[in-house]
Amino acid sequence: MPSAPASNTVFSATAESSVVWDRELTRFIEAGGNTTRAFGFGRLIGRLFALLYLSPEPLCLDQIAHKLRISKASASITVRQLAAWQAVHKVEDTEGRRDFYEAELRFGVILKNGLLPRLRKKLRVAGTQIERALGAAPTAQQMELESVAISARHKEISRRLRLARGVHQKVNALFSSTGLENLV
């Protein structure tokens, strides 16, 4: 397996004409980070995945840390998170001294086996909390005993929770459908 790169560039430019190429690959990696940050996953997740995705050969943690200018510990934590999503895989090192990683190139695998199950779990938790909040809402009889202002407030909160339940049910149905499984 390769050792740590000699240059600080992401994909060592060897000729003057490669400088633009290297700069655009670096921008691609940064765009990956900006995209995952926009979805709430953190910037490093996207940067690291994009680096491995573009790398024709597996990289070790030292190489990842060097190329992204991060600590080896940050690289390790992020690789483990991506591995849990099945977005990266460990590759056997013939010398057995280091772990090397490569990106999963099939986005359907990442969605189906990594991200969708986690999204579904979050949806279940959200649904449970919506139902718990609705279950704890004051009854009509209890609201009759309250002041008009408090009763109106409770009614509005309950209305919003019912709206949230409806949206949750639709989103949950979408992400639980076999059609989505077949699509990815």
What does the pLDDT read at residue 178?
Answer: 75
Mean pLDDT of the chain: 86
Question: Is the pLDDT at 161 greater than 50, yes or no?
Answer: yes
What's the confidence (pLDDT) of residue 15? Answer: 66
Per the document, the length of the chain is 184
**Structure confidence at residue 6 (pLDDT):** 42
**Angstrom distance (rounded) from CA 100 to CA 48:** 13
Residue type, 34: N
Q: Give domain 18-103's CATH number out of 3.10.310.50, 3.40.50.2000, 1.10.10.10, 3.40.50.720.
A: 1.10.10.10
Name the residue among 19, 20, 50, 52 with its Cα closest to residue 37: 50
- Residue 34: what pLDDT? 96
**68 closest CA partner among 117, 20, 9:** 9
Asked if 27 contacts 50 with a C-beta cutoff of 8 angstroms, the reply is no
What would the pLDDT profile of 80-111 be if each residue is shown by its tens digit?
Answer: 999 998 999 999 877 778 899 999 999 888 88
Task: Examine the pLDDT at 32 and tell me if it is beyond 90.
Answer: yes
Task: Identify the pLDDT of residue 149.
Answer: 79
Helix (H, G, I), strand (E, B) or coil at 39: coil
